[in-house]
Structure 1
Amino acid sequence: MIEFQYKREKENILISLKTDSTQIGTFHRIATIIYALKMDILSGELSTVIEQGNEYTIDSFILQADDGDTTQAAFKLGMMMDSVFSKNTKFEEILEKLQIQEPAIATFFKETPEFIFSDLPERNQTCLYLESSAGRGLLYYVSRILMQNQINIHSATIETDFETGRAKDSFFLTNGSGQMFASTDLALKIRREILAPIQSNTR
């Protein structure tokens, strides 16, 4: 189930979507389609809510289309989101058709990035604050590593500082067992994997 809405605002696209898909990797699916369609997430909010005993993911984003054709881009995005969250379609098959090229990861970290993991006992969640150079594909890349490590994204705030060109994103997470993990080796592992492309270039 997915509810998708969009509207144009000047050169950008405002989208909102609601889905009953709340498993690990849900945001990565969304970020993948946005990246594949050559759009960039400028800002947004991710949240998980419970309505009448059912859990839903509710997200809203401001997107920028590379080619400037916001109407066509939004239409394609809606069609792809329907496919991604269809019970009859495997995400792996969609990925094969899209033939996604990896983003230029080193450009995200050309200036010193910040990765701060902190546990929030009152929420029983870990906050990951990420600040780095902004660019199309950053959230696709980071969300894939979180998914591969069985990290559940419960909510997030995505921001782009246009004066500095920096992404300033906060993710509220739990591990595969639903626990905080900032003080564990898992946080170190995620940091190491995210920074791996630039660390290998400095050796």
Structure 2
Amino acid sequence: MIQFQYKREKNNILISLKTDSTQYGTFHRIATIIYALKLDILSGELGTIEENGVQFTVDSFILQAEDNNTTQAAFQLGVMMDSLFSQNAKFEEILEKLQIPEPAIGTFFKESPEFIFTDLTEKNQTCLYLESSAGRGLLYYVSRILMENKINIISATIETDQQSGRAKDSFYLTSAGGAMFASTPLSEKIRNEILAPLQTKTV
């Protein structure tokens, strides 16, 4: 099930979506479609709510189209999201059809990236604060690594500083077992995997 809405605001697209898909990797699926359609996430809010005992993912984003063709991009986005969350959809098959190029990862982390993991004991969640150079594909790339490590994104705030051009994103996470992990080897593993392409270049 997915409820999808969008509207244009100047050169941006404002979208909101609600789905009963709450397992790890849900945001990565959304970020993949956005990246594949050459859209950039300028800001957004991700959250999880419960209604009548059922959990839902509720997200909203402000997107920018690469070629400013917002009407066509928004229509394609709605079609792709509907396909992505249909019961018969297989994410791997959708990926194969899209033939998504790898983003220019080196450009995201060329200027002193920050990765700060903090355990929030009152919420039993780990906050990952990520600050780096912004760019199309950043969230697609980061969310893929979180998905591969079976990390649940409970909520998130995505921001882009328009003056500095830096992404300042906060993710509230749990491990596959529903636990905090800032003080475990898992946080360092995630950090190393995110920065691996950059480290390979400097060797």
The answer, yes or no, to whether TM exceeds 0.5 is yes
Matched, 1:199 2:196: no
**Counterpart for residue 162 of structure 1:** 162
| Amino-acid identity (%) | 78
**Counterpart for residue 57 of structure 2:** 57
Q: How far did residue 89 of structure 1 move? A: 1.1
Q: Distance in 1 between matches of 2:89 and 2:157?
A: 29
Consecutive unaligned residues in structure 1, runs of 5 or more: none
Aligned 1:75-154 pairs, distance under 5 A: 75-154=75-154
Q: Distance in 1 between matches of 2:200 and 2:102?
A: 17
**Counterpart for residue 21 of structure 1:** 21
**Counterpart for residue 8 of structure 2:** 8
Q: Distance in 1 between matches of 2:196 and 2:143?
A: 15
Q: Distance in 2 between matches of 1:131 and 1:171?
A: 11
Please list the CA deviations of residues 131-186 of structure 1 after superposition, one character each: whole Å capped at 9, or x if unmatched: 00000000000000000001000000000001001000000000000000000000
- State the superposition RMSD in angstroms: 0.4
Q: TM-score, normalised by structure 2?
A: 1.00
Q: Distance in 2 between matches of 1:183 and 1:111?
A: 26
Please list the CA deviations of residues 88-114 of structure 1 after superposition, one character each: whole Å capped at 9, or x if unmatched: 110111000000000000000110100
Give the AA of the match of 1:54.
V
Q: Distance in 1 between matches of 2:65 and 2:98?
A: 17
Q: TM-score, normalised by structure 1?
A: 1.00
Q: Distance in 2 between matches of 1:114 and 1:57?
A: 27
Q: How far did residue 201 of structure 1 move? A: 1.1
Consecutive unaligned residues in structure 2, runs of 5 or more: none
